[in-house]
Structure 1
Amino acid sequence: MMNQTQNDARRLTTPLLQDAASLENQNSSQADEAASISGAVFNISTTMIGAGIMSVPATIKVLGILPGFLSILAVAFFTDVTVEFLLRYTQSGKSITYAGIVAESFGACGSVAVQICVMITNLGCLIIYLIMIGDVLCGSQSGETLHLGILQQWFGIHWWNSRAYALLFIVLFIMLPLVLPKRVDSLRHTSAISILLAVLFVVISSAMAIHALWEGKTQKLRIFPDFSKVSVFDLFTIVPVLVTGFGIQINVHPIRAELGKPADMSLAARISLAISVAIYFAIGFFGYLLFGDSIMPDMLVNFDQNSDTKIVAIAIPNIWYFFQFMGSTTIVCLSFIFPGAIILRDVHGISTTRDKIMAILVILLAVVTSTITISNNLHG
């Protein structure tokens, strides 16, 4: 009886509302844990300014300067549209994940399809990055042509700086620690460094191009495609490459969940798109000005220690085909088809006529370009 009385007394003395000090401390702790817009911008921009930056000059080579720039703007515009689709349906629905909002519209099958696409996309992106890192560190060989990587140039050719061992070291001691943190925002500093390095790469490339222009050694530029070398269908194969570069949709929800104000995600995405478009324009123009039609799908391969513009062949798989494969299969589904399908399904009844028209255009663009790209690669 005494214990019951004491328990009742505790319930009565427990305040129903927290005092101002405790509320202030709780809010301040939540504010400290919340991600900032700048961190979100860095993390989103890193998603776009990665392997894609190295293939932009090759897209300019195929399309020409003017159509190439217009294609970059078009893909960036449709990316912004689909990101807005995802954010609006996330705010209106109960789920805060990509797979969850697709499940609200298409059930468990839609959720599983998203997860499969995400896994394949991550695997493909990992392969692209490992190929590029292997090119830079270990070089490559094709026939009698040998391209030495940084490790061979500095230390000579040894077993420990071969491609397999170098990539194993990178995966275990650099990539693995970066994927262990639970919060995406914890990577904002490394993302900022990667953006800084990308800008530095643009500055170096532009300085080399301006110096070559001063000495009259730049390549002839084409404003429009050279249809004597490429067909009309070849032009459509460029879109999946750009779609792969701008594929940020799978990172929208994890980054949004960590923001102090989830509504700031739209602003962060647009700032990131503007930064990426500017860097893509710069590296596309100056890279094409510097190397011309000899530009490789991986621009890093065009740089050689012995000659500023020496071109070497590579025996490893061409990252161009990885870009096209992912950009015409899994990434195009995650970037365009799934967001457009959510708008057309409209389970929450918030889609306008304009939204549905844009969704149809996005899906048509995705299906047509992907079909042409896959067909062209199979027949080619």
Structure 2
Amino acid sequence: MIRCSGLLGVCLRRSQPPPAARSVSIGVIGAAFDKGQTRCGASLGPAAIRDTGVLDEIRALGHSVRDLGDLSLPGVDSEYTAADDRAKMRNVTSVGRFNQQLSDRVSSALAKHDVVVTLGGDHSIAMGTVHGHGRTVRHDKLAVLWVDAHADINTPLTSGSGNFHGKPVSFLLRGMEAFHLDLPDLRWCRPVLLPSKLVYIGLRDVDPMERVAIQELGVRAYAMRELDRLGVDKVVEMALDQLGVGVGADSSLHVSFDIDALDPSEAPSTGTPVRGGLSLREGQMVMEEVCKWGTLRSMDLVEVNPQLGSSQQALYTADAARHLLLSTFGRYRGGNAPEGSQLPRPEILPDPRPNR
């Protein structure tokens, strides 16, 4: 008889699948919006992700999923001319109006569902999703895990491009108010997030003034250097612990996942790819850890742009988004057994031979 050594026994125990994720009610919103940057096509991201069949796959994991349709804002492309000539802003009216409506939609959906998932759209939509989530909880209870190659904490005075997909964090974060102009279309967006309740994972393309903002506000940020040194599982564990979203905690977790957090080899059809990013396996591990902690209330998955690259690259990128969502809601990469299921046994039939 072969006996397992102590180490092998531990390994065998660890190879067992984690406990099944609790069944939750999920509301899915499509944010069909791409005016936060200059490349058309991110507004088609929600449809591209849905077309992978992921919503049915999440249902098969035991969850209730309701598709709440798309939010769009056609025909608004006006610019806002700021009094300060240093400011750079593109499409502030469309960004402001769309995100105000998205904030209302998310806060309303959170009253009816355990978790709300918003499919983007460019990353400027996080102004609406995080703000909408923040309206439903006490100001010190909102926690945000921002998984991205970029910090997205520029202001109109520090942005080189003027694109709002590089600015949402600065409008959401308390302590940044003094660095913003008075923009009529964004007066609704009151900061809802404390710096201590924001953690970045995956940074590798951070502008100099964004680094200044991160340091001055004391925001915890794990760049790819830290992930390489410590490992993804350790970094995610530390990040979620720092956010105070463990089991039994009363913080309310929002994950904002930009598909460009993945390496371009994994997600080529996105607007601002940066080499040296997360593998799909590492991205899945991030969301598996989020699932394990069980405190997720809302999520956005953004910047899938099926108009960039070949049709095959677009499908590949949407499929990466599919894998991330499945990991978020309990798909175990070793296979999920249906609850209460058993292997079928053959029926015992009578012996056809006559008695002798």
TM-score category by the smaller chain?
A: under 0.3
TM normalised by structure 1 equals 0.25
Q: Larger Cα Rg: Structure 1 or Structure 2?
A: 1
Q: Which has the higher contact order (CA 8 A, sep 6+)?
A: 1
TM normalised by structure 2 equals 0.26
Q: Looking at secondary structure, tell me which structure has more strand per residue.
A: 2
Q: Looking at secondary structure, tell me which structure has more helix per residue.
A: 1
